[in-house]
């Protein structure tokens, strides 16, 4: 089958089955271009909660599919490749996180959306990188907080809010990989370029960034900026939308530490391909299923997140 035929078949199956294709900014460009909606992890959750489609194909990683299923249990949720995981979610097994919570009683538990449904079920409020600051700010100043699993995001939010949240020590393998030296060299060669970084990056990188924010925030910042050049320290997939919205600007992917490749990609995100998306719609698998007892517990902290986000217009 040619690529054009695959694209045509995806379009026909989507219509025939009343399916919606939601894609994260880190997906391959071809997937982003055929999706009904492309967004960050918060936006994908909001779409999953409100869609009237019968089927959601979540082109992203497993926790994103789970979040969609938790919010829309009556819909069938598929993901093109079931092995598309997340190193942050993997860094926080539910049994170990539960032990950590029990060792630190009287703390409210905040979890990054990059977690399994079982971890969300142990959580009071879920956050994404778009709303973490507003959610932490919404809590009483003397509230003791556990934050997991991303230590870099947690540390950054501690700095922004003046809190002292207890941090789980997880990291994202992609954002942990960026080379500060190579980024500073790029900056030397492009002195007018602004450095944009995702808060999953280590502190030393965030300190040299001109803007720190979620994928959607980075995109918005670049679009609203008068500057013409940007060094982008997050997964390189986001650059597709940046270029689409800003054809007159230049986006330089920040390089990883030890690789011959100039950009940094999440191999989990890149497991999804156009062909797998087609097969997924055609065969209606692999399907995301969430144990109902876990789902009932996990939906509460996600809904709390959506409520607080909505109050802040996010
Ligand atoms: P966003 O919430 O910014 O989309 O980030 C999700 C993610 O997995 C970043 O690595
Ligand atoms: Fe997870 Fe990192 Fe990939 Fe985002 S980029 S999905 S945090 S492994």
Please give the Cα distance from 54 to 72 (Å, whole number): 10
Q: What's the total number of domains in the chain?
A: 3
217: exposed, middle or buried (Cβ count in 10 Å: 0-12, 13-18, 19+): middle
Residues 243 and 214 reside in one and the same domain? yes
Ligand 2 centroid to Cα of residue 301, in Å, is: 21
Q: Which domain holds residue 13?
A: 3-84+269-290
- Band of the pLDDT at 158, cuts 50, 70, 90? very high
264 part of a folded domain: no
In this predicted structure, the answer to whether residue 236 has a pLDDT above a threshold of 80 is yes
Q: Which atom of ligand 2 is nearest to the CA of 268?
A: 3
Is there a single domain that holds both residue 157 and residue 306?
yes
The token duo for 175 is: 């954002």
The pLDDT tens digits for 89-142 are 999 999 999 999 999 999 999 999 999 999 999 999 999 999 999 999 999 999
Structure tokens at 176: 């942990």
pLDDT at 156 over 90: yes
228 and 182 belong to one structural domain: yes
| 93 shares its domain with 167 | yes
Mean pLDDT of 1-23: 97
| CATH number of the domain encompassing residue 75 | 3.40.50.10800
Q: How far is CA 209 from CA 124, 178, 184, 195, 258, in A?
A: 31, 13, 10, 5, 21
Domain check: are 131 and 110 in the same one? Answer: yes
Does one domain contain both 276 and 138? no
**What pLDDT score does 312 carry?**
95
Query: Residue written as tokens 């980075």?
Result: 218
Claim to verify: residue 49 and residue 7 sit in the same structural domain: yes
Mutate to test the pocket of ligand 2, among 39, 67, 173, 236 (most ligand atoms within 8 A of CB): 173
Nearest CA to 305 out of 124, 144, 110, 125 is that of 125
Q: Is residue 114 part of a domain?
A: yes
Residues 182 and 221 in one domain: yes
Considering the domain architecture, whether residues 46 and 118 belong to the same structural domain is answered as no
pLDDT band, residue 221 (cuts 50/70/90)? very high
Read off the pLDDT of residues 243-288 as tens digits, 9 standing for 90 and up.
999 999 999 999 988 766 666 899 999 999 999 999 999 999 999 9
In a domain, 94, yes or no: yes
235 lines ligand 2 (CB under 6 A): yes
Report yes or no: 270 and 279 within 8 Å, Cβ to Cβ: no
Domain match, 154 and 117 both: yes
pLDDT band with cut points at 50, 70 and 90 for residue 19: very high
CA dist 26 and 215 (Å) reads: 9
Ligand 2 within 6 A of CB of 88? yes
């Amino acid at each position: 089958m040619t690529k054009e035929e695959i694209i045509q078949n995806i379009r026909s199956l989507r219509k025939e089955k009343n399916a919606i294709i939601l894609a994260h900014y880190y997906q391959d460009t071809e997937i982003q271009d055929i999706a009904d909606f492309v967004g960050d992890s918060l936006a994908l959750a909001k779409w999953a909660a409100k869609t009237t489609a019968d089927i959601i194909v979540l082109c992203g990683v497993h926790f994103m599919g789970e979040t969609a299923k938790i919010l829309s249990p009556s819909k069938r949720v598929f993901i093109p490749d079931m092995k598309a995981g997340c190193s942050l979610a993997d860094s926080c097994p539910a049994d170990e996180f539960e032990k950590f919570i029990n060792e630190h009683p009287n703390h409210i538990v905040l979890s990054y959306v990059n977690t399994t449904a079982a971890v969300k079920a142990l959580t009071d409020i879920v956050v994404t990188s778009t709303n973490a600051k507003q959610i932490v700010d919404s809590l009483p100043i003397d509230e003791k907080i556990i934050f997991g699993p991303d230590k870099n995001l947690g540390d950054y939010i501690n700095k922004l809010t003046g809190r002292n949240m207890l941090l789980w020590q997880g990291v994202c393998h992609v954002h942990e990989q960026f080379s500060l030296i190579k980024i500073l060299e790029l900056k030397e060669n492009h002195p007018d370029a602004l450095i944009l970084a995702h808060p999953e990056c280590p502190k030393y990188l965030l300190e040299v960034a001109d803007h720190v924010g979620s994928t959607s925030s980075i995109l918005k910042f670049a679009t609203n900026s008068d500057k013409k050049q940007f060094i982008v320290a997050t997964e390189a997939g986001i650059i597709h939308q940046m270029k689409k919205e800003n054809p007159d600007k230049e986006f330089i992917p920040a390089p990883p530490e030890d690789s011959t490749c100039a950009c940094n990609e999440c191999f989990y995100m890149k497991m999804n391909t156009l062909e797998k998306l087609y097969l997924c719609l055609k065969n209606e698998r692999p399907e995301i299923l969430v144990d109902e007892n876990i789902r009932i517990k996990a939906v509460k902290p996600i809904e709390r997140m959506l409520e607080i986000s909505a109050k802040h217009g996010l």
